[in-house]
Chains A and B, each alone.
Chain A
Amino acid sequence: MIDIEQQLRDAAQDLPSDAPPVTERAAEEGLLDVAYSSVDSPLGPLVVAATPKGLVRVSYTEFRGEDDVLEDLARRVSPRVLEAPAKLDRVRRELDEYFDGGREDFDIPIDWSYLAGFTREVLRATAAIPFGDVSTYAGVAEAAGSPRAVRAAGNALGANPMPVIVPCHRVLRTGGALGGYTGGLERKEFLLRLEGRLL
């Protein structure tokens, strides 16, 4: 008797596997809610993600795994998450220029809509701290409209979903101590050194 199932399995191994891409078509049809890509940097690999409105995430892959970041985006933004490096070319270019010392300000749009309330205010205030300058937790709390919410400001910065681009590394403790940093203090030091704030 013919083992037809085995024949089918063997034949299936020889079927082509070069399926056409779907991401471009998804974007054309307005179905690419979150585009992401990995980007190399002197601070190690990053995952960057954007909606059609702007950037929503920059994450140190060594600090938090890519799968974890993508699951979080699927939960918070939309499960329509697809790898689409071309959609992040501009972010990649601006980051490269920044790390090469050729750029002080980022021009890419940021999508703030997935951040709420005080967190959003704190991060917006942080985004306004210029290159080469620094502020304090108390300073950004005040700039965000709640001068006494220093601890809450610290929490908001600790949850910054777009480090480097939203420069939470420019926020130090009152008195000049470095404070904390998502991604590790050595990264904060690296960035402050790059901006001429540390030797």
Chain B
Amino acid sequence: MSVNLPPFQALLEEHRTDVYRFLVATAGSAEADDAFQETWIAALRAYPKLRRAGNLRAWLFRIAQNKSIDAHRARGRRPVPVAGVPEGGTSDGVAEAGGEEELWERVRRLPQKQRTAVYCRSVLGMPYEELAALLESSEDAARRNVHEGLKRLREELTDD
């Protein structure tokens, strides 16, 4: 064995909330719980076979992205419930929470790579090098995905 992988629990604790929120944002709260468990089970299954301990976050979010895509497809085949306020609401009140859910709905309608790129860059502050590893693309392509996704969101919000 050549790599010293950290105990899986450390990975889970460090990224649990980020992964969950990524899945709620990109796949929807109705799909997030299943996608979350699927993500971690798939990660746990593959974990001992990893050959490098670097870039674990990119690796993990690539799995999460794939589960989000699966959930997205499943969701597309079902009648989509009217976008509502997520359970629990927020301290900012219902109106704003509704506005936020609307924002995530727009994110969910972006092409898949833009969806991931926008979230990971804007919310998680992921460096382009890491984002490129996640998307399995060049850094330039990662940059373009962020740019295009943000541009589209900005246009849509300006039009409203």
Contact = CB atoms under 8 A, between A and B. Distances in A.
Indicate, yes or no, whether A interacts with B: yes
Interface of A: 1-2, 4-5, 7-12, 14-17, 19-20, 22, 25-26, 29, 31, 34, 36, 67, 70-71, 73-75, 78-83
A19 B41 contact: no
Nearest to A33: B48
Contact of A7 (B45, B86, B88, B103): B103
Contacts of B59: none
A4 B90 contact: no
Chain A interface, >50% SS class: mixed
Contacts of B104: 11
Nearest to A70: B7
B36 to A, nearest CB: 5
Contacts of B20: 15-17, 19
Contacts of A1: 154
Identify the interface centre among B8, B29, B86, B157: most chain A CB within 10 Å of its CB.
B8
A124 to B, nearest CB: 26
Contacts, number: 109
List the 6 closest A-B pairs by CB distance, nearest first: A81-B7, A19-B20, A79-B5, A11-B100, A70-B7, A15-B21
Interface string B44-58: 110110000000000
Contact of A80 (B25, B48, B92, B157): B48
Contact of B6 (A10, A14, A79): A79
Contact of B9 (A17, A29, A82): A82
Given A17-B21, A22-B37, A74-B6, A4 B157 contact: yes
